[in-house]
Amino acid sequence: MAEAKPMAMERVWPLTAEEQEARTKSSATGTPTVIVDDLNIIYKVWGAASEEEKGNAATALLRLLRRQGRPQMREVHAVKGVSFVARHGDAIGIIGRNGSGKSTLLRAIAGLLPPASGAVYTDGQPSLLGVNAALMKELTGERNITLGCYAMGMTPAEVRAKYDEIVDFSGIGEFVQFPMSTYSSGMGARLRFAIASAKVHDVLLIDEALATGDREFRKRSQKRIMQMRESAGTVFLVAHNLDVIEETCNRVIWLHKGKIKMDGDPAEVISAYNKA
């Protein structure tokens, strides 16, 4: 795959000679790709009105006069002191209840949320499998494939080379000529996964992408995740479907209220999680 090369080069800074050397020494399977060091994420939520805040202009004016700032702003401490090391060839499942900080952790690894303290060190640019945000449902699948690929930083030549593969993998057939708003939720999810996984990622973060879609598509997408693992990348997978995690991952991290409750072998962690 010659076309993958320029994308892998995409980095925030050109590497210094020293870093380059350190990386070439350690690109083999088993060396670290992502290091999360005592990570804390606190984010602000706007518009979380309290009971007495009636949300009309008069109360807003009163608040200004009393010089009280905006009470609608709340701080949420979503990730609390998480540390782990992920390595080349790892597929790491992240499990936990709703609101346990799974998605926040993924965003922080992708470098899309700044840490309040601690740090995330990465090799290359981790990418969130989140191309959906760039797609427009009024447009045809065909246009969305091009748009999504460009949004991920592919060139026209790369898009042409990958186009048929994306359509085949998504299995949407002639629907590619119809607007995405006419797709069933399963078809939409399949096309999104097909677009997002068309690019070669060093570190891939998948957040609930496999929740929809039928059994057959789930099998195919698991196979693709395996392929990515084998090409010595690292895959993070958030899913509520524990079977998917157990089949796909070689390691599972259990998050509970923003902290790591358990980290290790999938079968062990999942059975402990099921008992809790």
12 binds other proteins (CB under 8 A): yes
Distance CA 123, CA 232 (A): 12
Distance CA 261, CA 257 (A): 9
- Smaller CB distance to other proteins: residue 107 or 229? 107
74 binds other proteins (CB under 8 A): no
- Smaller CB distance to other proteins: residue 155 or 184? 155
In the complex, the smallest distance separating the C-beta of residue 259 from other proteins, rounded to whole angstroms, is: 7
Q: What does DSSP assign to residue 14?
A: P
Segment lying near other proteins (by CB under 8 A), choices 49-57, 111-119, 170-178, 224-232: 111-119
Q: For residue 258, what are the β-bridge partners?
A: none
- Smaller CB distance to other proteins: residue 75 or 243? 75
Distance CA 71, CA 55 (A): 11
Residues 6+ apart with CB under 8 A from 250: 90, 91, 92, 266
Q: Which of 251, 242, 237 is nearest to 276 (CA)?
A: 242
Length of the chain: 276
163 binds other proteins (CB under 8 A): no
Segment lying near other proteins (by CB under 8 A), choices 135-143, 170-178, 185-193, 224-232: 135-143
- Binders of other proteins among residues 230 to 259 (CB under 8 A) are 259
Q: Which two tokens stand for residue 248?
A: 């796909």
- Smaller CB distance to other proteins: residue 9 or 223? 9
Q: Which two tokens stand for residue 120?
A: 């995330």
| Strand order across the 251-256 sheet | 126-128, 203-207, 234-238, 91-95, 251-256, 259-264
Segment lying near other proteins (by CB under 8 A), choices 14-22, 184-192, 231-239, 242-250: 14-22
Q: Pick from 3, 4, 43, 171 the residue near other proteins by CB under 8 A.
A: 43
- Smaller CB distance to other proteins: residue 41 or 225? 41
The phi and psi torsions of 58 (rounded to 5 degrees) equal -65, -45
- Smaller CB distance to other proteins: residue 20 or 243? 20
Distance CA 265, CA 250 (A): 7
99 binds other proteins (CB under 8 A): no
User: Residues interacting with other proteins, by CB under 8 A?
Assistant: 10, 12-15, 18-23, 25-26, 30-38, 43-44, 83-85, 87, 107, 109-115, 119-123, 125-128, 130-134, 136, 138-139, 143, 146-147, 150-153, 155-156, 179, 259-263
